[in-house]
Each structure stands twice: as structure tokens, then as C-alpha cells.
Amino acid sequence: MPAKRLSVVVTRRLPDVVETRLKELFDVELRDPDQPMTRDELVAAMRRADVLVPTVTDQIDAAMMAAASEKLKLIANYGTGVDHIDVFSARQRGILVSNTPGVLTEDTADMTLALILAVVRRMPEGMALMQAGHWQGWSPTALLGGRVAGRRLGILGMGRIGQAVARRARAFGMQIHYHNRRRLRPEVEAPLEATWWESLDQMVARMDIISINCPHTPSTFHLMNARRLKLMKPSAVIVNTSRGEVIDENALTRMLRAGEIAGAGLDVFERGAQVNPRLRELPNVVLLPHMGSATMEARIEMGERVIINIKTFADGHRPPDQVLPSML
């Protein structure tokens, strides 16, 4: 007699190829329409599933973990970040948590460079002028931006994505600086010609561009707070493709409006989809709707990692991408 298939609840629509493969392997409940689950819907899913497949839009806290049934044994997160999941409470309840590391690296790094170029070269202002039909022809002084070559790029968080950003920026002629909890090994640091700063304050005060590439943890919440933002040069710009909570968004908005920071490129926001309306009014700010990993290739690879984690668990082994509280 074949073994009973795991019951899996997926909280959002995934690429068709991923959903089809999940259906082939497990007893899967897919999400239709593609809307975030409410808190009550999430709790109900955690009571009927062996495996839950959430995304970044699903906030799963300790109270929800306590309400889950005994049958829930794995939360196979569709995404790299797990700051929306109380991993410590999950472990206390005997629920494993896995994620999908590595698959977003190149695409997120591409978007980081795109934002740097968009802000420094004032691309959205040019696009708006063209789309409104207001362009009167070339002018020697119109929409003057800056040259990225030779600028100092300070990367906050030199993990996979930070290093991928550094490789791209180096090709554009930028000088690479970084702040990390630990200095990179010489064989990693040397090809990037990267300069490590033990003091984040000292680095921030000297950079032309700051790129946020660290995860959101209790220690990184508002790491770029009002005091640290004020250390930035008035000519500097800041780009964030990581987590919105790393920057004090209200303080950033005030400083951008006051001209104390030259510009910003943001793909993530402190309150998710609730973007500060004052940010949308600023011509020196480029806002994107969390598009860093939005390539078909990345989203399919994320699904494949989810499937590997579930299948490995179903076979009685530890998921290869299990997340432990000590890792956060």
C-alpha cells in the first residue's frame, strides 16, 4: 500500500509549473484567488495541514503557532527571509522551518544596480517627461545626473547578495566598501577590491551611495536610524532591496524632503504595501513594488527549493534549507 501523501497548504498562487509539481507529489491545497490569507485563514490552514507553504505576506507569530494542530510539522517558506515567521516559537512546538536561500541573489543584485542607476541618472524624471509629452528636445543642462564610475559604494550586509552587488558595481567602476558583522576572507575580498569598515558610522559618513543588503532581524531594525542617516553626505543616495524595516522610513522621508540626502531607490518599505505617501511626491525617489526577485527563473527556482525541502522531510530527513533560531 502506498504511503499516505502529506497534506500541503499553499497560501498564495505560485508559477504554474511549481503548482503542478506540488500536485504530483503531495495532497496540495492551492490558493485561488491570489489574495493574502487573513489571520483566521492562516490559523485554519495551520490546523489542517502537515506542511504550510507561506510567503513574505504571511505574518506567523507565537500565538498562531500555539493554535496550530499537532499534525503541522513543517513550514516550508517560499522565500529567503523568515522575519515574518516566529522561528523560535516554531522550534518550541516541534515545527521545522525552511526557506529558499541563494536563488534570489543575481536578480536582486541586478535590481540594486538598476535602482542606483535610476536614482543617480534621474531616469524616472526623464520617463515622466516623455510620457507626459512635455519634452521639447535636447538641452545641455536638462536633467543632469551624475556619473557612477568612481563613486564610493557602501554595502551594508556583504552576504551572497551584497557580494553580487559588489561584482556588478565594480564593473561600473565604483569603489567597493562594506560593513559586515565579520570581515570577508581575503580570497573573497581581494577580487572585489573591497574595503571593510568595522564602524558602520564611519563608513556611512564617507560614502556616495549606500546599498542595504542585510536581513531584517531585531539587531538590524532601524539600523539606518535618524542619527545614522544624518551622517550621510547631502550628495549621497541610499538604495534598499532587502527589508524595509532596516531604514527608519519617516526619518528618511523628512531628510529627503529637506534636501539632506540627495535621493533614494526603494524596493521595500517599512510597513509593507502601506508606503509613506510623502515619499511618492518626491522626484528624487524611485519606488518599486518589491520587484527584486520578480523574474520567472527566480520564482520557479524558489518553488523547486520548497519542493526539495518538503520531499526531503517526507522521506524522513532534515530539510536541506532548515532555518534555526541561532541562524537569525
Q: Is residue 2 part of a domain?
A: no
* Distance from C-alpha of 278 to C-alpha of 83, rounded to nearest angstrom: 26
Residues 243 and 170 occupy one common structural domain: yes
The string over 7-28, giving b where at least 16 C-beta atoms fall within 10 Å of a residue's C-beta and e elsewhere, is bbbbbbebeeebbebbeeebeb
pLDDT at 322 over 90: yes
* Amino acid identity, position 314: A
Give the whole-number percent of the chain exceeding pLDDT 90: 93
Under 8 Å CB-to-CB from 226, ≥6 apart: which residues?
248, 251, 255
Q: Model confidence at 4, in pLDDT bands (50, 70, 90)?
A: confident
Q: Is residue 25 part of a domain?
A: yes
Task: Give SS3 for 30.
Answer: coil
The length of the chain, given as a count of residues:
328
Whether residue 35 contacts residue 57, with contact meaning beta carbons closer than 8 Å, is answered with no
- Chain segment 56-101, per-residue pLDDT in tens: 989 999 999 999 999 999 999 999 989 899 999 999 999 999 999 9
Question: What pLDDT does 3 receive?
Answer: 66
Query: Mean per-residue pLDDT for 173-185?
Result: 97
Query: Mean per-residue pLDDT for 191-198?
Result: 97
pLDDT at 2 over 90: no
Residues 38 and 83 occupy one common structural domain: yes
* Distance from C-alpha of 273 to C-alpha of 206, rounded to nearest angstrom: 32
Under 8 Å CB-to-CB from 237, ≥6 apart: which residues?
116, 119, 120, 208, 209, 210, 261, 262, 263, 264, 265
Question: What pLDDT does 251 receive?
Answer: 97
Helix pair angle (160-171, 105-120), 10° resolution:
50
Residues 99 and 125 occupy one common structural domain: no
CATH code: domain of residue 303: 3.40.50.720
Residues 111 and 257 occupy one common structural domain: yes
Residues 203 and 282 occupy one common structural domain: yes
Question: What pLDDT does 1 receive?
Answer: 41
Residues 138 and 22 occupy one common structural domain: no
Q: Is residue 317 part of a domain?
A: yes
Residues 252 and 117 occupy one common structural domain: yes
Whether residue 266 contacts residue 288, with contact meaning beta carbons closer than 8 Å, is answered with yes
Residues 37 and 65 occupy one common structural domain: yes
Q: Is residue 216 part of a domain?
A: yes
Whether residue 105 contacts residue 161, with contact meaning beta carbons closer than 8 Å, is answered with yes
* Distance from C-alpha of 92 to C-alpha of 273, rounded to nearest angstrom: 31
Question: What pLDDT does 113 receive?
Answer: 98
Return the C-alpha cell found at 151.
563613486
Q: Is residue 266 part of a domain?
A: yes
Task: Give SS3 for 195.
Answer: strand
Residues 80 and 134 occupy one common structural domain: no
Number of domains into which the chain is organized: 2
Return the C-alpha cell found at 34.
491570489
Whether residue 282 contacts residue 262, with contact meaning beta carbons closer than 8 Å, is answered with no
* Distance from C-alpha of 103 to C-alpha of 81, rounded to nearest angstrom: 12
Q: Is residue 157 part of a domain?
A: yes
Q: Residue 256 — left, alpha, or beta (φ > 0 → left; ψ -120 to 50 → alpha)?
A: alpha
Strands 27-29 and 7-10: parallel
Whether residue 137 contacts residue 191, with contact meaning beta carbons closer than 8 Å, is answered with no
Q: Model confidence at 33, in pLDDT bands (50, 70, 90)?
A: confident
Q: Model confidence at 326, in pLDDT bands (50, 70, 90)?
A: low
Query: Mean per-residue pLDDT for 154-182?
Result: 97
Torsion, Cα 213 214 216 218, to 10 degrees, reads -150
Return the C-alpha cell found at 210.
549606500
Residues 136 and 275 occupy one common structural domain: yes
**Residue 265 buriedness (CB in 10 A; 0-12 / 13-18 / 19+):** buried
Residues 203 and 251 occupy one common structural domain: yes
Q: Which of 2, 160, 63, 91 is nearest to 318 (CA)?
A: 91
Domain that holds residue 153: 105-287
Q: Is residue 69 part of a domain?
A: yes
Residues 173 and 39 occupy one common structural domain: no
Query: Mean per-residue pLDDT for 185-198?
Result: 97
- Chain segment 203-236, per-residue pLDDT in tens: 999 999 999 999 888 899 999 999 999 999 999 9
Q: Is residue 40 part of a domain?
A: yes
Q: Which of 224, 232, 166, 229 is nearest to 195 (CA)?
A: 166
CA 177 to chain centre: 20
Question: What pLDDT does 194 receive?
Answer: 98
